[in-house]
Structure 1
Amino acid sequence: MAVAEESHFGRAAARLDMAQPPLSQRIQRLERELGVRLFDRTSRQVAITKAGTLLLEEARALLARSETLRATARRIRNGESGLLRAALPPDLAGETVAALLTGFAGRRGGVELELHELSTAQQLARFAARELDVGLIHHPCDVAGLELGPVLRRELGVLLPRDAAPARLAEVPLASLSDHDLILFPRAGAPAVYDDVLTTCARNGYTPPAVRHGQGTSFVRGLVLSTKAVAFSPRDARPADTPEPDTGLVWRPLVGAPLVWRHSAAWPRGTGDAAVGAFADAATGALRTTTTASADAPTRPLRLRPAAEFWL
């Protein structure tokens, strides 16, 4: 293209910041590869051939696409474009999900977000298989090979029937729930969190007669009503002392706040590009603004453990 526009090998070589002989050799090699003559050369001038004229527009289009490809690659490298495979746990409220998506779009609007609803265990499996770029997980869990964003905590209270005896208390001791079954998420979703909840309950005098499993909000509340059971939920799910409208349920804080959910963004170590960072920041911001989540850990790297002994 440079030789065609300059009609002179010397000027084209200067424009391309190269010597003239290598440029002449490259043109000759290109002609051999294409099987056509691109230029007629004389001692005084260089004239583009008919074949060269026909191919010139194709050459310009190829160069334009090449520049587009390089620009796209730069945006992907800088986290400004491309595909981000992300996951959120199924117990996250719709308001929090909406705030996260809005926050992420504001930070990295050019990135296509492939969002999945996955439990912590499912996210860890996909991290190991390199099928997930970033997620929001529950602690404690095995964080080997992962990098973590800030760990946030949400204190849990108890959701129970309005006519249950503990519902008359301003704060409920775990031991007072001994006659009530417990509705808990399926263990397979987050085994260490599940075991930690039951361990903490036992340490505080509550061993449920039976543990029933449920995850959806409506399903869990229906079980609490129909089976006279209880369930744990964050403070932000239902303000204290406010009855559930027309459901016969109330939410009460637990004495001493022994139970908490702990969340953080997570991603495979060494893969934290700008898009991953934007998702982690958006997730942290959404939890802070739409829930009662607060910082739970120092800034230095720490390892999570189960059974209420979270920090080493």
Structure 2
Amino acid sequence: MDLIRHLECFVAVAEESHFGRAAARLGMAQPPLSQRVQRLERELEVRLFDRTSRQVTITKAGLLLLPEARELIARSEALLAAARRIRDGDSGLLRAGLPPDIAGDTVAALLTGFQERCSGVELELHELSTTDQLARLAAHELDVGLIHHPCDVTGLELGPVFRRDLGVLLPREAEAARSAEVPLSALAGFDLILFPRADAPVLHDDLLTTCARGGYQPPAVRHGQGASFVRGLVLSGGAVAFGSRDAQPAGPDADLVWRPLAGTPLAWRHSVAWPPGHGDTAVRAFSDAVTHALGTTTDARPDTPTRPMHLRPAAEYWL
């Protein structure tokens, strides 16, 4: 049984309250329409209409099922429309994820670059953690995303990996702020402001493991991501935060300084990710726009990772 076609017959009769008018609306004869409605009733095991020689009245069961039928028809039409756009190489809408640490200048450059490359496609950006992006990609609620590594990339296709070396944002009066480069061990005694572990578990544990190996084990880890919130915590004097060079304070700042880490032990690693077989024109345009935006607004550079880019069985560092 063609469920959608039978539902269209049900909805037409329900809205017209007349088999003849419904048949004319659907461009078919009345007997086949009646037969389809009757078959749908048998399949659903409910009576949808009370019929007399003079009128057709929708039943209570029919009224309850009518909204569901309309929704299924609408979703079917949306699916067919999306399939046509994909077949033609233009999906019309690209749902993309970006991590919260991407700076505003980079987002602006990305939007401009994407429109130059793919002007006929609407780019719908979502600020999402790597964990949320992976979940939405798996659920087909996202078409493409810029994710942090390492993470579980099983079943995804990846674009080039880019690296942004991390420095430290710390109070100006801190002794470590007097150095041109700050070794991790010089941060001893400071709490660390870090994104919640649930946002990117492997990256979170990797970062803390590297800190521990470098002689820095923060007394406490405070969770924060918004630039203003993080700056407020650092201004309290008892905490530091890691960030790339583009995250340093704009203009003179009397209270905070950004310093590179000695030996560049920490970095954000990004790549664009998408489900297999979904690398159409719009996805490629997004990947190219991300590459250009990172290259022009940050100090990101192509990276050939020597460490695993996937979820490992167990983390080395636990709080």
TM-score (normalised: structure 1):
0.70
1:215 aligns to what SS in structure 2? Answer: coil
Shift of 1:227: 4.2
**d(CA) in 1 for partners of 2:277, 2:99:** 23
Equivalent positions of 1:293-308 (< 5 A) are 293-297=300-304, 303-304=309-310
Matched, 1:271 2:281: no
For the aligned residues, what is the CA RMSD? 2.6
| 1:194-237 superposed Cα distances (whole Å, 9 cap, x missing partner) | 11110000011100011111100111011001142111010222
**d(CA) in 2 for partners of 1:146, 1:191:** 18
User: For residues 303 and 188 of structure 1, do their structure 2 counterparts lie closer, same or farther at Cα, with a shift above 3 Å needed?
Assistant: closer
Shift of 1:80: 3.4
**Number of the residue aligned with 2:141:** 131
**d(CA) in 1 for partners of 2:275, 2:96:** 12
**d(CA) in 2 for partners of 1:279, 1:243:** 28
**d(CA) in 2 for partners of 1:252, 1:230:** 11
CA contact (8 A) 1:243 1:251 kept: no
**Number of the residue aligned with 2:21:** none
**Number of equivalences:** 237
AA aligned to 2:206 is: D
Shift of 1:244: 6.1
2:163 aligns to what SS in structure 1? Answer: strand
Matched, 1:280 2:274: no
**d(CA) in 1 for partners of 2:222, 2:28:** 73
Shift of 1:285: 1.2
**Number of the residue aligned with 2:298:** 291
**Number of the residue aligned with 1:171:** 181
Greater CA radius of gyration, 1 or 2? 1
2:236 aligns to what SS in structure 1? Answer: helix
| 1:222-263 superposed Cα distances (whole Å, 9 cap, x missing partner) | 10011421110102222xxx8963440011111100000001
Matched, 1:216 2:226: yes
Moved runs in structure 1, 4+ residues, more than 2 A? 70-81, 242-247, 302-309
Match of 2:252 among 245, 261, 273: 245
Shift of 1:156: 0.3
**d(CA) in 2 for partners of 1:285, 1:231:** 27
TM-score (normalised: structure 2):
0.69
**Which deviates more, 74-83 or 269-278?**
74-83
AA aligned to 1:219 is: F
**Number of the residue aligned with 1:162:** 172
| 1:68-115 superposed Cα distances (whole Å, 9 cap, x missing partner) | xx9997764343351211111111111101111111111111112222
AA aligned to 1:232 is: F
CA contact (8 A) 1:244 1:250 kept: no
Matched, 1:111 2:121: yes
Shift of 1:270: 1.7
